[in-house]
Amino acid sequence: MGVCFVPWIKKKKCVACKKCVKKCPTDAISMVKGKALIDDLKCINCGKCVRICPVKAILGDKDKMDVEIKANIKLLKKSLAKSKNKKDQRQIIGNQVLQLRMQRKVIKGTLKELENIKK
C-alpha cells in the first residue's frame, strides 16, 4: 500500500493532442509511443495538465485518491483471502492500520519540516 500524488495518465484515453505537453511548466510530459507520459521527478503537481486535457485522460489528486483507496482495499482483500481464520485476518488488518498510521506520521513530520524550510 502506498500514497502518491503526482498526476498520472490513463493511456487508453489519451488521444495524443499534446496539449498537456505544451502546457506543462516543467517539461515533465513527453510523448512515448503516441501516448503522453509524466516524469514524476520533474512534475511539481501544478495540475495544469489535468485541467487542460480535453478527454480527461489525466487524473488529479482527488481522482487518484479514490483509485488508490480502491487499489489498497483490493490488495488487502487479496491478502485476507489467503488466510483461513478470523484471527489471522484481524492481524493482517491490524498490521495495515499500523503501517498506514506510520506513513501518516512520516507525511505529517515531513510537511512540518517543509513548512520550516519555507520560512
Residues that bind ligand SF4 (CB under 6 A): 7, 9, 14-20, 23-26, 28-29, 36, 38, 43-49, 52-53, 55, 57-58
Phi and psi of 22, rounded to 5°? -70, -35
Whether 37 and 9 have beta carbons less than 8 Å apart is answered as yes
Whichever of 43 and 64 has its CB closer to ligand SF4, that residue is 43
What is the closest distance, in whole angstroms, from the C-beta atom of residue 112 to ligand SF4 in the complex? 24
What is the closest distance, in whole angstroms, from the C-beta atom of residue 104 to ligand SF4 in the complex? 24
Residue 17 cell numbers, joined: 493532442
Whichever of 55 and 102 has its CB closer to ligand SF4, that residue is 55
- Whose cell is 487542460? That residue is 52
Whichever of 52 and 92 has its CB closer to ligand SF4, that residue is 52
Residue 37 cell numbers, joined: 507520459
Whichever of 9 and 64 has its CB closer to ligand SF4, that residue is 9
What is the closest distance, in whole angstroms, from the C-beta atom of residue 38 to ligand SF4 in the complex? 5
Closest by CA position to 76, among listed 64, 100, 92: 92
Helix, strand, coil fractions of the chain, as percent rounded to 5: 55, 10, 35
What is the closest distance, in whole angstroms, from the C-beta atom of residue 63 to ligand SF4 in the complex? 13
Give 69's strand partners.
none
